[in-house]
Structure 1
Amino acid sequence: MKRLFILATPFLFVGIRAHAETIDCKNASDQATLNQCADLDYQAADKKLNETYSKLLKKVSPQGKPRLQRAERAWVAYRDAQCEFQTSSPTSYSAQPMIHLYCLSRLTEAQTKLLDEQLHCAEGDIGCGQQ
């Protein structure tokens, strides 16, 4: 059953994005809309993360690039596992997708902040990674 949900999810999100302009997330009152709004929040957070990561990847030294890539892959695995753990339940419930997406958003925003700090660190800052 879980596998079917994962396969169906991309199709759901395509529909969500297509109708994003009609969703009033500030006044959402039903769970389906709340789930859609959580997806929109996550998509925005993920987009910003990818933009920040791409900028940092261009900036780091040749020696730092594979380390950054390895760290980011490890972070994605951590984020996914952490959110899976936080939202796991013996039975599914209607708010589960929303809670899972908010977890993804929260951790993604925190990682974006960390990468942005690396992107804008002062020259000579030895705690700033492979700049």
Structure 2
Amino acid sequence: MKFRNLILVAITITPLFAHADDKLFSKQLVACMNRANGVTPDRLNCMAAETDAQKKLLTTNYARLMKLTEPERKAQLENAQRAWIKWRDANCGFYEDPANGTGAEIEASSCLLNTTAVRANELRDLADEKARSAAQ
């Protein structure tokens, strides 16, 4: 792997672990990444498994928020979520630059994981706020 790609991998993975303390990601991801010991395919597998878990969490949080949203605003939420998915896929797809080899795969996977986890938490927070407002 080129030195440039090693630097890109280090820069890309650093935010992943920075969020681990914030409970953005599972403990399983941190353990998996430690076991991967810098092996790119293993790291990609770790990120893919966590991305799948975050997508499930995002779906659960979206469904909960949808149930708590006023009927006249449900279409707006649905449109926002569809636009967000389109943006996420396009944005993270841009990271996968064929000229950067495996570094680009790591960057794209990290983007997908980070972006999905942040959105899952955002939807959870919005649903929590709506639930609190409804309880008052």
Query: Do the structures match in fold with TM over 0.5?
Result: yes
SS at match of 2:133: coil
Q: Which of 90, 110, 133 in structure 2 is aligned with 1:123? A: 133
* Structure 1 residue 116, shift from structure 2 partner: 1.4
Q: Which of 69, 76, 100 in structure 1 is aligned with 2:78? A: 69
For 1:112, the aligned partner's letter is A
Q: Is the 8 A contact 1:49 1:111 kept in 2?
A: yes
Provide structure 2 residue ranges, at least 5 long, that are not aligned to the other structure.
1-30
Name the stretch that deviates more: 41-50 or 89-98: 89-98
For 2:43, the aligned partner's letter is L
1:7-86 equivalent positions in 2, closer than 5 A? 24-29=32-37, 30-85=39-94
* Structure 1 residue 92, shift from structure 2 partner: 5.2
Instruction: Indicate the RMSD between aligned Cα atoms, in angstroms.
Output: 2.0
* Structure 1 residue 71, shift from structure 2 partner: 0.3
For 2:114, the aligned partner's letter is R
Distance 1:97 1:90 in 2: 9
| CA shift digits 1:83-122 (9 cap, x unpaired) | 122x142425124333212111111111112211210114
Q: Which of 85, 99, 114 in structure 1 is aligned with 2:107? A: 99
SS at match of 1:120: helix
Provide structure 1 residue ranges, at least 5 long, that are not aligned to the other structure.
1-22, 125-131
Distance 2:107 2:96 in 1: 10
TM-score (norm 2): 0.66
Identity %: 25
TM-score (norm 1): 0.68
For 1:123, the aligned partner's letter is S
Distance 1:35 1:88 in 2: 13
Distance 2:32 2:111 in 1: 21
For 2:42, the aligned partner's letter is T
